[in-house]
Structure 1
Amino acid sequence: MFKILVIQTLNNLSDERTEYLINDRLSFMRFLGLGLSDRVPDAKTRWLFRERLTQAGAIERLFDRFDATLRNAGYLPMSGQILDATLVAAPKQRNTNAEKADLRAGHIPQDWRDKPSKLSHKDRHARWTLKFTKAKQQEDGTIPSTDLAIPFFGYKSHISIDRKFRLIRKWKATDAAASDGARLRDGLLNKTNTASSVWADTAYRSKANEDFMEKQGFVSKVHRKKPHLKPMPRHIQKSNAGKSVIRSRVEHVFADQKSQTGLFVRTVGITRATMRIGLANIVYNMRRFLLLERINAAA
């Protein structure tokens, strides 16, 4: 059953589509150890299995279990760690201003309480935020001087990878409006890494984080922010450029997850979103592990 979840996550499939493709593809059947005459678990059975894992909070233990396999194979966290976060889209909620105010206050709107079926389809944990992106060139050849702010609804995946093997070592799922920097002090740092350096972008630069890393014995390689209403000093520019060469490696992890697994939350609630994001992280580590093994075999 867990192998089925791996197939489903790797190919970004719904429960019904997964059932169809397992019956249709011999490669899927071989991976699952099924014969042509064997029965394939239906979509409802897979949903129940995933739901039981979700309610038990098993995804963190499953991730740690595979991480132990990586360590036993010789892939220890080495050469420091890189932190970053990416937005994960979820189905948009059409709520009134009063309902939004109740959700921000941590209350369930009264209208939803009286309609249990409606409440079960309302995501009370996903949040709206602004996603800033570089403005594209216009038809007249000009490029706007300001970045574009695009409204985004969903969750956020926070990860910490080791610099040596680019494997995910720590992760956390939050709503999309959660602060990136606060997660650094919330268990995202990996204390078992053989090096103490920590790379991250300016979202993680704060006095609280710098003091926390110094107290915990980490060496900060976090990007420095541009002074307010002043040009960036030349030496800070050069320092940030050198850090970007290393920090940018974490972007390849998110690009792989979104291109290969189509990282998207179709479920309702932070608990199920955590399960989805955790599965995507495990599957990424599995694929990365196989790639590293092939590289070592060729060498």
Structure 2
Amino acid sequence: MSKPLALTLGEPAGIGPDIALAAWLGRAQSQIPAFYLLGDRDFLQARAAALGLTVQLADVTPDQAAARFAEALPVVGTGHRVTATPGHPDASSAPAAIGAIRQAVADVVAGHAAAVVTNPIAKSVLYQAGFKHPGHTEFLAELGRGEGPAPQPVMMLWSQTLAVVPVTIHLPLRAAIAQLSTELIVSTARIVADALKRHMKIAAPRLAISGLNPHAGENGGLGSEEHSIIAPAIEILRGDGIDARGPLPADTMFHEAARATYDCALCMYHDQALIPVKTLAFDRAVNVTLGLPFVRTSPDHGTAFDIAGSGRADPSSLIEALRLAARMAAPLPPS
């Protein structure tokens, strides 16, 4: 990969800085692609010292990052000085986190970076600073809109074991059921199928689509949504030439033999998708945002304020996020 990945700082009081430093230190063993970290160099140097890590940092421009990566962790400044300490966000936290996200997207759009990889943010901290978006995903969609309407962002949780997509995401269960529609399932599945082809290099993606109700509704005995909403979506997708199966009972979709029959499972609500992937791949799952005009991945965990600065943070999910971003950003092979 000729261009580096742009890695955001995330919430500076969380474990984002810790795992970024650890990922760079383990670069040879984990064979991760070149990246640069968007943040405050002095802050990162202080965090490395507090963790007892010997890390050479290099102030660079994005175009210089790949050449310096083997010898030093490339750092691209955002102009935001950070004063937060481990576990204790302060007034510098939100500007630093938001500034890094904005710059990462701008760097990819300008052709200086191959993809965006985001460290965890603390939404409550951002809200207190006036942040108007529900979270990372919606902010990235806004940044990626250009002159047209904002794209539909789709959240995929990916691992070597299982890939899942919740059709409805961060909603109370009652609201998720109310929002569910044939149109939403179809638009989500189309984005997933396209991403699996373009970014995962799967020529003919296989989608398994869950039901909503127990036992996929028991032929209407336990609910009608499978017949009225989900089955019509599957017929439309098949008409598009997409290999979509379902509605399938969610309680039998995730054992080993079932997982071998599909490339991605589309589930109707958050926990239906995230419980199996976090059970099977808790430390190595990656959060991927599909539907954006750029590749974005992220570790599938939060800021972990309670262990920030302690040296106990596991960089495994970030390492997988970096690897996956590089894979997704790689061009398709010639046909």
Considering fraction of residues, name the structure with more helix.
Answer: 1
TM range (shorter): 0.3 to 0.5
Which protein is bigger by CA-based radius of gyration?
1
Report the TM-score, using the length of structure 1 for normalisation: 0.38
